[in-house]
Amino acid sequence: MPSDLALPARAAPRETGGAWILPPLLVLGALFFYPLALIVGQSFTSESGVVTPRTYAAVLGGALFRNALLHTVEIALAATAGCILLGFTLALILTFVPFPGARIVARLVDTIIALPTFLVALAFTFIYGSAGLLNGALMQATGSHVPPLDFLYSAWGVILAEITVYTPFIMRPLLASFSLIETAQIEVASSLGAGAGRIIRQIILPAAMPALLAGGSLCLLLTVNEFGIVFFIGAKGVITLPLLVYDKAIQEFDYTTACVIAVVNIALSLALYALYRTLLGRLGGARAGMV
């Protein structure tokens, strides 16, 4: 073929990759990094406008903060553990123990995810509160003048409400993960002599570990930062970091202290997220393409 009939060489694509990064960076900067920087900056600024770390020393050394940090971690860990236990059990039943309506129940899980968290707290007040349905019925039945159930306005009430709200966050990835487990694996394990417990421990749990970690860590992050439930239940003596930030900023107008606590809260969240990534990597998340 004569060379003059050859097609012209294709023009090299223009270097436009850098420009595409700008819009998302601008959005992120405006909505996330700038407010974050403001909070961090404020946390190091005294009332007189001097940059100093002294507020950190004062806040971190205070009993109120330590109490709030302890409550935050305790409630988050307990609620997450409850969510994992309940979510794993429910997902297991919905997937492997066929019963009429199982699919509908699985769909209902999604609707709970869509509900605002304070709504559950409100519902709990109606049901388990001192003047709630359950206590009313029990008082009528027993003739007592004191509500027999008195757990709602304590850390247990918060934990129970958080378990109710966040269990679907564990169930959803677990249900997806369980649906990928080959039935043949379970059947072969059973034919080899394994009972239900061994199959759950050695076949189902390892396969579901990345989903369990993903759901669990999400649950942990959400419960660490949960505000609506704690605020709405108003449990006596149960102050968490987000609630403390609210108290300092809105009720006491102490913005510097509020920002210090917020920074600690953010650091706690990031540390938990880093822990999750590490665990996921060690427990097979890399194989599942999750790290």
Partner 1 sequence: MSDAALAGTLDRSAAAAQARGIAGSGIGFDGVTVAYKGQVVLERLTLDVAPGEIMAVIGPSGSGKTTALRAVAGFVRPVAGRVRIGETDVTDLPPHARDIGMVVQNYALFPHMRVSENVAFGLRARRAAESLVRQQIESCLAMVGMAEYAARFPRQLSGGQQQRVAIARALAIRPRVLLLDEPLSALDAQIRRAMLGELARLHRELPSLTVLYVTHDQTEALTLADRIAIMRDGRLVAEGPSQHLYRRPPNRFAAEFLGRANLLPVALEAGASEGVLTRVRLGETVLRCMAPGVPLPGGRALLCVRPHALTLAADGTAENALPATVRAVEWQGDSHSIDLETAGAPIRMTCAPLRDPPPPGTDVRLHFPADEATLIPADAE
Structure tokens given for 91: 């997902």
Name the segment binding partner 1 (CB under 8 A); options: 10-18, 178-186, 241-249, 262-270: 178-186
- The answer to whether residue 203 forms part of the interface with partner 1 (CB under 8 A) is yes
φ, ψ of residue 146 to 5 degrees: the values are -110, 135
Q: Is 139 or 291 the residue whose CB approaches partner 1 more closely?
A: 291
Residue 218: CB minimum distance to partner 1, A: 23
Q: How far apart are CA 278 and CA 268, in angstroms?
A: 15
Name the segment binding partner 1 (CB under 8 A); options: 142-150, 162-170, 200-208, 273-281: 200-208
Name the segment binding partner 1 (CB under 8 A); options: 60-68, 113-121, 202-210, 236-244: 202-210
- The answer to whether residue 198 forms part of the interface with partner 1 (CB under 8 A) is yes
Q: What is the residue-wise DSSP string for 196-252?
A: HHHHIIIIIHHHHHHHHHHHHHHHHHHHHT--HHHHHHT-TT---HHHHHHIIIIIS
- The answer to whether residue 281 forms part of the interface with partner 1 (CB under 8 A) is no
Of 57, 36, 54, residue with least CA distance to 46: 54
- The answer to whether residue 110 forms part of the interface with partner 1 (CB under 8 A) is no
Q: How far apart are CA 102 and CA 128, in angstroms?
A: 28
Residue 220: CB minimum distance to partner 1, A: 24
Which listed residue (16, 48, 191, 251) binds partner 1 by CB under 8 A? Answer: 191
Which listed residue (36, 194, 200, 266) binds partner 1 by CB under 8 A? Answer: 194
Residue 149, number of CB atoms within 10 A of its CB: 14
Structure tokens given for 92: 């297991």
Q: Is 51 or 180 the residue whose CB approaches partner 1 more closely?
A: 180
Q: How far apart are CA 163 and CA 104, in angstroms?
A: 21
Residue 72: CB minimum distance to partner 1, A: 34
Which listed residue (190, 228, 255, 291) binds partner 1 by CB under 8 A? Answer: 190
End-to-end CA distance of the chain: 52
Residue 115 near residue 195 (C-beta atoms within 8 A): no
Residue 131 is classified by DSSP as T
Name the segment binding partner 1 (CB under 8 A); options: 34-42, 47-55, 68-76, 183-191: 183-191
Within 207-226, the residues that bind partner 1 by CB under 8 A are 207
φ, ψ of residue 254 to 5 degrees: the values are -95, 80
- The answer to whether residue 282 forms part of the interface with partner 1 (CB under 8 A) is no
- The answer to whether residue 228 forms part of the interface with partner 1 (CB under 8 A) is no
Binding residues for partner 1, rule: CB under 8 A, are 182, 184-185, 187-195, 198, 202-203, 206-207, 284
